[in-house]
Amino acid sequence: MAKSTSKPTAPGGNKQKANAKKEAVGALVCDNKKARFEYEVLDTFEAGLVLRGTEVKVLRQGRMSLDEAHARVHEGEVFLIGAHIDEYTHGNIQNHEPKRRRKCLMHKREIRKLKQEVDIKGLTLVPLRVYFGDRGFAKVTLAICKGRKTRDKRVHIKEREARRELRNS
């Protein structure tokens, strides 16, 4: 009888890789808390993001900022403008620009609706959060928003504090 020389595999060797991938799926990368304070959210849409390889690696590390970001409809396409994705530390010449505009993937009827709302009513298109969807692709939640005035912000703060006090008592 021949003796097997192959090493036994570690228990759950392939399962560890699968679990690591599941953790990344559905993971929140970046949240724009400031936008919810500055704007009143009227409607939200989900869109895919067209990214380069180094951008995806940086997103998986969670190094992104939506502070100055907004979206714009241009020639029938939606673009995310001003979103800052750090440069990949192990990148080379092929590394991406941190603030380049990125294309959002949406259906034409959704884009038409967005353009109509933004152009006619004078509303703003703001990214609320970036995350990885259930299939592992980067997604952005875009919101049609109306800017809040200073008095509206004060009312919002009062309501938030009242809710917090109710929860604590």
What CATH number does the domain containing 98 carry? 2.40.280.10
Query: What is the rounded average pLDDT of the residues 135-161?
Result: 85
Q: Could you tell me the residue range of the domain that residue 122 belongs to?
A: 22-168
Residue 12: inside a domain, yes or no? no
pLDDT on residue 25 = 54
Residue 137 has pLDDT above 70, yes or no: yes
Better-scored residue on pLDDT, 89 or 140: 140
Measured CA distances, 141 to 17, 19, 29 (Å): 28, 25, 12
**pTM surpassing 0.85?**
no
Residue 121 has pLDDT above 60, yes or no: yes
Number of domains in the chain: 1
Nearest to 127 by CA among 114, 144, 107: 144
Residue 146 has pLDDT above 80, yes or no: yes
